[in-house]
Structure 1
Amino acid sequence: MALQINATNPEHPALLLALPWHLPLEEWPEEYLVPLPRGISRHVVRYARAGDEVIAVKELARRPALREYELLRDLDRLGIPAVDPLAVVTGRTDLAGQPLESVLVTRHLGGSMPYRSMFETTLRPATVHRLMDALAVLLVRLHLTGFAWGDCSLSNTLFRRDAGAYAAYLVDAETGDLHPELSAGRREYDLDLARVNISGELLDLEASGALHPSVDPVDFGTGICARYRDLWTELTRTSVYPAGKYHYIERRIRRLNELGFDVAEMQIERASNGDTVTFVPKVVDAGHHQRQLLRLTGLDTEENQARRLLNDLESWMATQDDYAPAGSRPSPGGRHPHGARPEVLAHRWVREVFRPTVRAVPPELRGATDPAEIYHELLEHRWYLSERAQHDIGMDTAVEDYVRNILPRTRDALRPPAG
C-alpha cells in the first residue's frame, strides 16, 4: 500500500510529506522533534514541527487511527474541547518495504500541560481541586453531546490555565463512542472508570513523592464523581414553579449562564389545573461567555478568561463618553440616549486597551502563556497593588511592576520544559 495522507486542510499534506515516515516514530531524528513534555500513553507519541505548526504524532494501527481521527473531527464540529485533528497517515513502510504502523496527527494545544508535568513540583490541594473541577466539566460536556469517553483519566487530558482555574481538553478519543444520547447506565460506567483511573494515577504520584501529603487519592477519585453529579443535576434537572412566577425561569437560566452554559432549547409545560409551570432545559450548550466575548470583540478565549475580560470590558465601557446602557435616558448634560453600539465600544477596547496592555509584556517573558491569560494576570496584579496602596494604581503601573518584579521570577515556569 502506498503512503496516504488524509488531512482536514489541503495545505497539511505538503508540509507533512517532509517528515521521515519511513522510520518508526521512536527512531525519528532530533532535528524533526520539538522538546515538549509528554504524558503517559499506551502508544508512541512525539511532538514534531510541520512548517510553522507544532504537531503531535501518535503511532497506532490503521483502523483505530482512522476511527479516532473521525471521532476527533466529530468532537470539533460539536464544539467540545479536544485536540484538533489534522491528518491520519497510512500505508507507511520502512526502507526495506516492511509495514509500519499508521499515524494520527493532531495540532499541539498551545499552553497546555499533561498532568504529570504539572506535578513535577508538588501542587497545592486547591490546585488539584481546580484540575478535578475542569475534568468534571469536560466529562459533563462530553455526556451532554452523547459522547461516551470509555477511558476518562488525567493521562488522557491536557490542561490549560484559565483565569485562575483550568480548562480540560480531551487528548485521546480512541476508546470513545458517539451516540444520539447516553443512558444513565452508560454515564455511570464512564464515571466509575474516571474514579478508578484518577485514584490510581494519584496513588502513583503519591508513591513517587509528587503528591501533596494532604491529598487523599481515593477521596479525590470519589470527589470528581460528586462534582460531576452536582453539575449534571444543575444542567438537566426539572424545575416546577408557581404559575405566574416566570421570573423564576429567568433566574434558573441566569444561573446556568453563570456556570458557563447557554440554554439552547427548553420545554415549558403548564399543569392542567393551571397552578404550576414545569421547566426543563432540553439542550444546554457550554461556552456562554466565550460566545459573548467572541461576538463582541473577535477574541477567542477560554470560558473563565472570557468572563473576566467581559467584566473588564463592561467597566471600561461605563467610563466612555459615548456609552449608553440599554434603555437609558439622556443624562442631565444632554448625552444622546443612543450611544455607540456595544460592538463598536468592544472593538475600541481591544484596540486601545487589551492589545497595548498585552504588547507591553515582552514576548520573551510571556513564554507559552496566551494573551487572554496574560491580561487576566495583569488585572489580578493591578487589584493586588491597588489593595496594598488603598487606591487604583492604574494599568500602566501594574504592567510595569508585573514585568519588572513578577515575570522574571516565573519565566522558567512559563516556558515549556525540555525533554
Structure 2
Amino acid sequence: MALHVVAARTDPALFRLPWSRPLAQWEDWYVVPLPLGLSRHVVRVVQVNRQFLAVKETEESIALREYDLLRDLQRIGQPAVVARGVITGRTTADGEPLPAALLTEHLHYSLPYRAVFQHGLRAEQVPALIDALVVLLVRLHLAGFFWGDVSLSNALFRRSAGGFAAFLVDAETGELRPSVSDAMREQDVTVGSENIFAELMDLQASGDTDVEVDPFAIIAQLTERYHALWEELTAAEEFGADEWYRVEQRIARLNDLGFDVDELDVRAESDRVRIQPKVVEAGHHRRELRELTGLDAEDSQARRLLNDLAAFTAHFGYDDEDREVVARRWLATIYTPIVDLLPPGLRRTIAPAEYFHEVMEHRWYLSEEAGHEVDIFESARDYIANVLPRRPPDTPSGLA
C-alpha cells in the first residue's frame, strides 16, 4: 500500500516523519515531551516545521470519521481541536500494516486535566474546571453534537480570567445531528458523571495531586449546573402583556452568561406573552471585544477586558465619544503597552489576555495593601518581577 495523506493543508515535512514505525517507537528526536490526557490510543505530539501536531493511532475508518467530525465542528464554530489530516496506508519496512494516524493541532495555552491539577490548581478552583466542561457540553448539545464519551480526559483546558475554558479533544464517539434529543443529552450527562467520578478517584489514588476533592459533590455539581444552564438558555418564559421589559431582561441574562440570542420565538395571546430562545450562540463578550479592538480572547477574559475598557471610559470622561474610538485609545495606551512589558522569554507561557487579567487582579491586591490605587504600569512590573516567575506556565516547557 502507498502512504496516503488526507489533509486540510499538506506540509511536505509530514512525509519525513517515520510513518513506517509504530508511533510508540518514535524517538525523542520527533516527539515533543508534552503532558497528554489518558487515552485508549497511542498519542504523541510532534513538531512539523513551526507547527505542533497531536498524532493519534487508530483504525482508518475511525480516523477519517473523526477528522470529518472535527472539521464540521470547526465550520460551525464549536470549541474543539482543529483537525489537520489523516495518514493511511502505513506499513512497516517488512510490509506489515500499521494503524492510521489522525493529526490535530496542539491547542496553545491548554493542558489536560491531570496537568491542570499538577500545575497549581487549588481546591476552590475545581468547581470552575467542572463549570467549563458543563459549558462545553451545553454548547455542543445546542449545536446538535452528541458526545457519547464525556470525560475530563477527552477535553483540554485553558485558564480564562480566574476560571477555565474547555475544548473537545476527542470526537471519536460523537455524532453531529440536526438536534440532540433529551434522552441523548441525559445519556451524555450520565456517562460524564460516571467517567469524571472514576477519573477523580484515580487522580487522588495516583498521588498526582494534593488537591482534595469530593467526587460525589463534583458529579452532583455537574448535573445541577448542566440542567440549570440548559434551562436558562432554552426554556420558555411566560408573562403579562404589560411586562415586555422582561424580554430585554431575558436577553440580558443570556448575555451575562456569555450567549447571544440569534432567534427568539415570541407569541402574544390576549393578555399573556410567551418567549422562548430558539437559537443561542456562545461568545457574546468575545465577539464584542473583537469588534471593538480586534483582540481575540476567551469569553471570560473578554468580559474582564471589556470591564476595564468601561472603567477607562468612565475615568477619563469618554462616555459621550464613539465607543470604537475610545476602544482604540484604550488599546494603544493601556492594553498594548502592558502586554509589551512581558519579557520575550515569558510570552509563550501565558496568553496575553490572561496575563492582562492577572495584572488587573494583582493591581487590586497591591492597592488594598497600599490603601490607595496603584498605577497599572507599576502593578504590571511588580507582577512580572514577583508573581509571574512563580506561576506555573500554561504552555508546557516543550513548547515554550
Q: TM-score range by the shorter chain?
A: over 0.9
Name the SS of the counterpart of 2:331 in structure 1. helix
Matches for 1:378-389 after TM superposition, within 5 Å: 378-389=359-370
In 2, the alpha carbon distance for the partners of 1:122 and 1:179 equals 38
Matches for 1:329-344 after TM superposition, within 5 Å: 339=321, 341-344=322-325
How far off is 1:212 after superposition? 5.6
1:79 paired residue number: 77
2:384 paired residue number: 403
Percent identity for Structure 1 against Structure 2: 50
1:146 aligns with 2:144: yes
Provide closer, same or farther for how the CA distance between residues 122 and 157 of structure 1 changes in structure 2, counting only shifts above 3 A: same
How far off is 1:181 after superposition? 0.8
- The match for 2:205 among 197, 207, 210 is 207
1:2 aligns with 2:9: no
CA deviations 1:86-106 (Å, max 9, x no partner) are 111111122222221111111
1:291 aligns with 2:271: no
How far off is 1:144 after superposition? 0.5
How far off is 1:214 after superposition? 4.9
In 2, the alpha carbon distance for the partners of 1:15 and 1:289 equals 38
1:361 aligns with 2:357: no
Tell whether the 8 Å contact from 1:202 to 1:211 is kept in structure 2 after alignment: no
In 1, the alpha carbon distance for the partners of 2:258 and 2:89 equals 43
TM-score by length of 1: 0.91
Amino acid in the other structure paired with 2:115: S
Q: Which deviates further from its counterpart, 59-68 or 30-39?
A: 30-39
Q: Unpaired segments of 5 or more residues in structure 2?
A: none
2:183 paired residue number: 185
TM-score by length of 2: 0.95
1:312 paired residue number: 308
Amino acid in the other structure paired with 2:268: R
CA deviations 1:263-321 (Å, max 9, x no partner) are 000100012xx211000000011000011111111111101000001111122233457
Amino acid in the other structure paired with 1:357: I
Q: Which deviates further from its counterpart, 346-355 or 190-199?
A: 346-355
Provide closer, same or farther for how the CA distance between residues 212 and 230 of structure 1 changes in structure 2, counting only shifts above 3 A: farther
Name the SS of the counterpart of 2:118 in structure 1. coil
Aligned length: 399
1:330 paired residue number: none
In 2, the alpha carbon distance for the partners of 1:293 and 1:390 equals 32
Tell whether the 8 Å contact from 1:143 to 1:187 is kept in structure 2 after alignment: yes
How far off is 1:116 after superposition? 1.2
| Rg (Cα) greater in structure | 1
Provide closer, same or farther for how the CA distance between residues 116 and 324 of structure 1 changes in structure 2, counting only shifts above 3 A: closer
Name the SS of the counterpart of 2:202 in structure 1. helix
2:358 paired residue number: 377
1:336 paired residue number: none
1:26 aligns with 2:24: yes
- The match for 1:163 among 161, 164, 167 is 161
1:332 paired residue number: none
Tell whether the 8 Å contact from 1:366 to 1:374 is kept in structure 2 after alignment: no
How far off is 1:194 after superposition? 0.4
How far off is 1:158 after superposition? 0.5
Q: Which deviates further from its counterpart, 19-28 or 107-116?
A: 19-28
RMSD: 1.8
In 1, the alpha carbon distance for the partners of 2:339 and 2:156 equals 25
Q: Which deviates further from its counterpart, 196-205 or 25-34?
A: 25-34
How far off is 1:179 after superposition? 0.7
2:36 paired residue number: 38
How far off is 1:252 after superposition? 0.7
In 1, the alpha carbon distance for the partners of 2:204 and 2:98 equals 37
In 2, the alpha carbon distance for the partners of 1:359 and 1:418 equals 23
1:351 aligns with 2:349: no
CA deviations 1:221-275 (Å, max 9, x no partner) are 232011100100111111001102111110010000000000000100012xx21
In 1, the alpha carbon distance for the partners of 2:374 and 2:72 equals 47
Q: Which deviates further from its counterpart, 139-148 or 398-407?
A: 398-407
Tell whether the 8 Å contact from 2:67 to 2:83 is kept in structure 1 after alignment: yes
Tell whether the 8 Å contact from 1:163 to 1:377 is kept in structure 2 after alignment: yes
In 2, the alpha carbon distance for the partners of 1:295 and 1:205 equals 41
1:416 paired residue number: 396
Q: Unpaired segments of 5 or more residues in structure 1?
A: 326-338
How far off is 1:219 after superposition? 2.5
Name the SS of the counterpart of 1:31 in structure 2. coil
Q: Which runs of 4+ in 1 moved over 6 A?
A: none
In 2, the alpha carbon distance for the partners of 1:53 and 1:122 equals 27
Tell whether the 8 Å contact from 2:109 to 2:350 is kept in structure 1 after alignment: yes
Provide closer, same or farther for how the CA distance between residues 224 and 317 of structure 1 changes in structure 2, counting only shifts above 3 A: same
In 1, the alpha carbon distance for the partners of 2:210 and 2:216 equals 14
